[in-house]
Amino acid sequence: MPDNPSGSLPGSVGIGALRWQATLYRRDQAPGPNSAITETLVPLATVHADIQPTYPSTFYGSMQIDTPVTHLIRLRWADYVPTIDVIMRSTVRPTDNTIRTELYRVRRVKEIGGRKRFGELECELEHVETTAGDTDNERQQLFAENALVEAIWDAGTSIWDGGATRWDMPASARAMTGDVLAALPKASKNGHGKK
C-alpha cells in the first residue's frame, strides 16, 4: 500500500497551501543568427502553486556534486512536466512595491501518490528580475536566452591582425559603439592588448 493512496498534498494545509499564482512555460530553442540559439518561452498554463525553499545539497569537500535544487514547488497538474520547462512567479516587494519575477528551472518531477492530482517539482531558482508587470511579452524579453543579432567578437579588435579587423560589425553598429570601442586598448602584435 502506498504512503499516500489518495494522492493528496502532504501536511495539514492541503489545497489551501497552493497560494501562489505561477505560469508554466516551455523553452523552445531554434537556430539563431551567428550560429547561436534563439529561445522562445511558450506559456502552457497558469496554475496555483506552493513554492518553498529547500536547503540540503550534496557536497563532497567544498564542491556541490548534486544538481542544484533550491525550491520545491507543489502544484495541481494532471500531466507530466518535462525538465525543459520553467515556472515563473511574480510577487510584489513589501518595501517598495516593485514587482519581483522569478524563473525556476524544473530539475526533477514527482507525482504525489502516483494519482495525477498534484505534482512536486524540484526546481532551481535560475533568474530573478525586477519587472514592470507580469505579462508574457515582458517575460519573453527579459528571461529568454537570445543571442545578439550582431556579435562583437572581441570588442572590435582582433589578435590576428593587430586590431585592424572588426569581425561582423556593420557601419550602423560601429557608429553606435564607436565611443566605447575607441576607449578600449588596441591589441598589440603579441595579441594581449598591451602596448
The CATH number of residue 77's host domain is 2.40.10.270
Does residue 92 fall inside a structural domain?
Answer: yes
Same domain, 116 and 190: no
Cα 153 to the chain's mean position, in Å?
24
Boundary residue ending a domain (143, 160, 180): 143
For 113, the domain range is 14-143
Which positions ≥6 away from 138 have C-beta within 8 Å?
Answer: 131, 132
Cell of 173: 553598429
- What is the model's pLDDT at position 193? 45
- What is the model's pLDDT at position 181? 47
Same domain, 129 and 97: yes
Same domain, 139 and 154: no
Q: Per residue of the chain (195 residues), what is the pLDDT tens digit?
A: 445 555 555 554 566 778 899 999 999 988 877 777 888 999 998 999 999 998 766 666 766 666 688 899 998 876 778 888 999 999 999 999 999 999 999 998 888 777 777 888 989 999 999 999 889 999 998 898 874 444 444 454 445 555 555 444 444 444 444 444 454 455 444 444 444
* Cα angle 73, 75, 77; round to 5: 135
- What is the model's pLDDT at position 100? 95
Report which secondary-structure segment, H or E, holds 105.
Answer: strand 99-111
Domain count, the chain: 2
Same domain, 109 and 50: yes
Cell of 105: 528551472
Do 20 and 89 contact (CB within 8 A), yes or no? yes
pTM above 0.85, yes or no: no
- What is the model's pLDDT at position 65? 66
